[in-house]
Amino acid sequence: MTQRVRKILHADCDCFYAAVEMRDDPSLREIPIAIGRSREHRGVIATCNYPARTYGIHSAMPTARALRLCPHLTLLPGDFDKYREVSRQIQAIFHELTPLVEPLSLDEAFLDVTDVEGFQGSATWMAQWLKRECLARTGITVSVGVAPSKFLAKIASDWDKPDGLTVIPPERVEGFVESLPVTKLHGVGPATGARLEALEIATCADLRRQPLERLLEEFGKFGHRLYELARGIDERPVKVERERKSVSVESTFDRDLPDLETARAALAPLCERLEERLARHGHPPLTGIFVKVRFDDFNLTTLESRGLATDLASYRSLLEQAWARAHRPVRLLGVGVRLLPEGARQQLSLPI
């Protein structure tokens, strides 16, 4: 019996927050804009439009650096209630096509359209319809990748941005993957990318030449994942329900917190905000707490504990240990909790 080939779409709105602002104010379309805090505050860029990207600006870049690259950059504070509403409209269109939708954020999602009978079963026609409907109903352009797997569909959606549509049919997977840079593989971040480069592994063709045993020796369990991805193998299903693993809050300060005592004082309002957020989630069962600290040199450290309560004293204890790692001024501080996995919660609720 021939195995049915999956049809996966990855839909990704182009510069989403900025796109909503340009839709509502067409005068912004041709000038570099970014969503971020004002010049008087510190923070990072949430997203920017394509004119801004020609200056080298990108999301998660410190706002101060973005302004150095483009002094005439227009900074907008962002209206996240509006963005969430547009996202809801776009997600509703996704669900008109298939119930198998896995949202990744406000502006992107995976869709499994394997069993969709409309459009004569053509995933390409489905992608064209999706792009057309999103633009017509919301004014937002969406880039879509079509492939037999999630990791290839995500790569394809980014292949021809903005307003792109890239299809990788099953017969093209082998050739496409072979020439793919290893840095494009799902799960390969800067550290793993640097290790692969040190091993003179630049493309998936290079990766395929490595025995599985060597990859396991170099990368542990992830070596097996690399072995599969280099061959286009990715059987991850589209998950309709995404399990939340943590709840947290954080603040980037307008001025660095100069010492531990000042950082301690900043914890109380963060803990209050965290408690409010946990209340909205119904106080779910926890497995631990954590503190996140970014120092003035942009180094980030996170310290966790499974044995402490979610009170101010516990977070202060973790902060003191985290601060001791660098003894530097603090630009960002965050507090959070790790949640008990859903499966374990169900076990706890079973009658004895």
- Tell me how far apart the alpha carbons of residues 134 and 126 are, in angstroms, rounded to a whole number: 12
Q: Tens of pLDDT along 265-311?
A: 999 999 998 988 888 777 888 889 999 999 988 888 999 998 778 88
Pair (224, 278) in one structural domain: no
Predicted pLDDT of residue 277: 84
Pair (252, 334) in one structural domain: yes
Query: Are 338 and 267 spatial neighbours (Cβ–Cβ below 8 Å)?
Result: no
Domain CATH for 183: 1.10.150.20
The whole-number average pLDDT for the span 203-225 is 91
Helix (H) / strand (E) containing 140: none
Whether 108 sits among the annotated catalytic residues: the reply is yes
Pair (333, 252) in one structural domain: yes
Pair (252, 312) in one structural domain: yes
Residue 62 tokens, joined: 């410190």
The whole-number average pLDDT for the span 169-175 is 92
- Residue 300 domain-assigned? yes
Q: Is 115 annotated as belonging to a binding site?
A: no
Q: Is 12 annotated as belonging to a binding site?
A: yes
Q: Which residues contact 250 (CB under 8 A, 6 or more apart)?
A: 270, 292, 332, 333, 334, 335
Pair (263, 290) in one structural domain: yes
Pair (178, 251) in one structural domain: no
**pLDDT for 131 beyond 80:** yes
Q: Where a domain ends, among 229, 263, 298?
A: 229
Predicted pLDDT of residue 297: 83
**pLDDT for 349 beyond 60:** no
**pLDDT for 114 beyond 60:** yes
At residue 40, what is the residue type? E
Pair (211, 259) in one structural domain: no
- Residue 186 domain-assigned? yes
In the structure, what pLDDT confidence band is assigned to residue 78 with cuts at 50, 70 and 90? confident
Predicted pLDDT of residue 343: 58
Catalytic residue, from 108, 200, 320, 342: name it. Answer: 108
What are residue 252's DSSP bridge partners? 332
- Residue 45 domain-assigned? no
pLDDT > 70 in the chain, percent: 94
DSSP E strands, 106-225: 108-112, 142-147, 165-167
Q: Where a domain ends, among 163, 194, 229?
A: 229
**pLDDT for 157 beyond 50:** yes
Q: Where a domain ends, among 185, 203, 229?
A: 229
Pair (258, 311) in one structural domain: yes
Domain count, the chain: 2
- Residue 263 domain-assigned? yes
Tell me the three state secondary structure of residue 290.
Answer: strand
- Residue 60 domain-assigned? no
For the whole model, what pTM was predicted? 0.73
Query: Are 248 and 334 spatial neighbours (Cβ–Cβ below 8 Å)?
Result: yes
Pair (259, 338) in one structural domain: yes
Q: Tens of pLDDT along 311-347?
A: 899 999 999 999 999 999 998 899 999 988 765 555 5
Give the mean pLDDT of the chain. 89
Cα torsion through 281, 285, 287, 292, rounded to 10: 20
Predicted pLDDT of residue 1: 43
Domain CATH for 269: 3.30.1490.100
Pair (257, 339) in one structural domain: yes
250: domain range? 246-348
Pair (293, 201) in one structural domain: no
Pair (287, 219) in one structural domain: no
- Residue 70 domain-assigned? no
Q: How far is CA 261 from CA 5, 267, 327, in A?
A: 59, 10, 12
- Residue 257 domain-assigned? yes
CA angle, corner 342, sides to 340 and 346, nearest 5? 105
- Residue 119 domain-assigned? no
**pLDDT for 88 beyond 50:** yes
